[in-house]
Chains A and B, each alone.
Chain A
Amino acid sequence: MAMNKYPELSATHMDALREISNIGMGNALTSLAQLVNRRINMNVPVATFMPFEETISRVGGPEELVSCVSVRMSGEVPGLVLFLFNSESTLRLVDMLMGLELGTTSELDEIGQSAVMEVGNVLSGAFVGALYSLTSLEMRSAVPLFAYDMLGAILTSLMVASGRVEEQVLVIETSLFQEQAEANIKGHFFMLTEPGSIAKLFNALGF
């Protein structure tokens, strides 16, 4: 059966999801901006259902080198929050965090890895925090997991590990950018969750 498993989601619901992620991501970006001491913008988040394979092509080619910080959420809204940065942006993030001149870092060593992991940790913490203050639902986030490798390998492994292998997944997606092109950070954010969690979010928000 190739039908959408979430027929109960109306346009209003999708708008609500987008609003939730707008607030959550706005909060996360404020934290990131403080961390790297720069202004960071994001595109308006999009909430869509898509085949999980499609999440890969949203970001790049399956063999593209990316860094990924993922945080498992448990509690009333179980799911997975993940941040992906392409390799160029990953190295720029390290420079920014370490206060180095942009272009200094050319390889991701262990210190660099923990710096990027910290970014992911801050972002996801802020996102989950915003969700919590909006809904008062009980939410816990686990220790972040980090990988720096092929995009396809990372995303499929994550989805399998989180049990998100049904045909369609709910994806809330946005990308981050900076105004100065040479300091651009290209990142993608995904939140993967399940129908039950979405229903709870709507209830808590009065939809």
Chain B
Amino acid sequence: MELAVKDIAEIQVGIADYKIAREPVKLITLGLGSCVGVSLYDPVTKLGGLLHVMLPDSTQFNNVNKPAKFADLGIPLIVKEMQSKGASINRLQAKLVGGAQMFSGLDDKMTLNIGHRNADKSRDMLKKMGIRILVEEVGGNRGRTMILDTQTGQVTIRTLGNKLQVI
């Protein structure tokens, strides 16, 4: 069945969650603040994955019931599932979006640095697994929506009041 561009299905990825889909589906996660969106794409099998990370490190918590919440657990999890669906780790291309600092004003450094730490940890995990990071759009102070197009591997970023940005 031929699909018109506007009819292509969009799958939403919730907070602390991930989704995997094959072309022509688009994966979208809304309103990334200090959270980091990690997209993974295998250009040969046209398999894409999108993960919405909230926190860098699960080892600081006793009660881990949602591994996708954390960069250190979520990234291996999504990679493994993509591999089981035919993706190859040395073809995977990663893109990172988010990790903003949403609030202006003084506060505890540790906690407000979280966007930065989310991006750092995600980068580390990907490197450790030998996955290439093609491009990043992280930091700043704006909320972002991230859309992965599994037909092309392109990621579109939406911010309020600005034009769409494609990376």
Contact = CB atoms under 8 A, between A and B. Distances in A.
A70 B33 CA distance: 15
Given A154-B33, A161-B34, A145 B107 contact: yes
Given A165-B69, A166-B63, A153 B100 contact: yes
A2 B63 CA distance: 11
A53 interface: yes
B143 A149 contact: yes
A156 to B, nearest CB: 5
A157 B34 contact: yes
B31 to A, nearest CB: 2
A interface: dominant SS? mixed
B interface: dominant SS? loop
B167 interface: no
Interface string B31-70: 1111100000000000000000011000000010110010
Contacts of A142: 107
A149 B69 contact: no
Contacts of B69: 165
Contacts of B34: 153, 156-157, 160-161
A149 B115 contact: no
Nearest to A157: B33
Interface string B11-40: 000110000000000000011111100000
Interface in B78-97: none
B132 interface: no
A53 B143 contact: no
Contacts of A156: 15, 31, 33-35, 54
Contact of A161 (B31, B107, B158): B107
Interface residues of A, number: 33
Contacts of A144: 105
A21 B156 CA distance: 42
B106 interface: yes
Nearest to A163: B111
A187 interface: no
Classify chain B's interface size: 20 to 34
Interface string A152-182: 1111111011110111000000000000000
B121 interface: no
Nearest to B105: A145
B151 interface: no
A158 B35 CA distance: 11
A63 B31 CA distance: 6
Contacts of B104: 145-147
24 contacts: A62-B31, A63-B31, A145-B104, A145-B105, A145-B107, A146-B104, A147-B103, A150-B30, A150-B143, A151-B31, A152-B32, A152-B33, A153-B31, A153-B32, A156-B34, A157-B33, A157-B34, A157-B102, A158-B102, A160-B111, A161-B34, A161-B108, A162-B111, A165-B54
Interface of B: 14-15, 30-35, 54-55, 63, 65-66, 69, 100, 102-108, 111-112, 114-115, 142-145, 158, 160
CB-based closest 9 A-B pairs:
A152-B31, A153-B143, A153-B33, A150-B143, A157-B33, A62-B31, A62-B30, A145-B105, A145-B103
Interface of A: 1-2, 53, 56, 61-63, 65, 70, 72, 142-147, 149-158, 160-163, 165-167
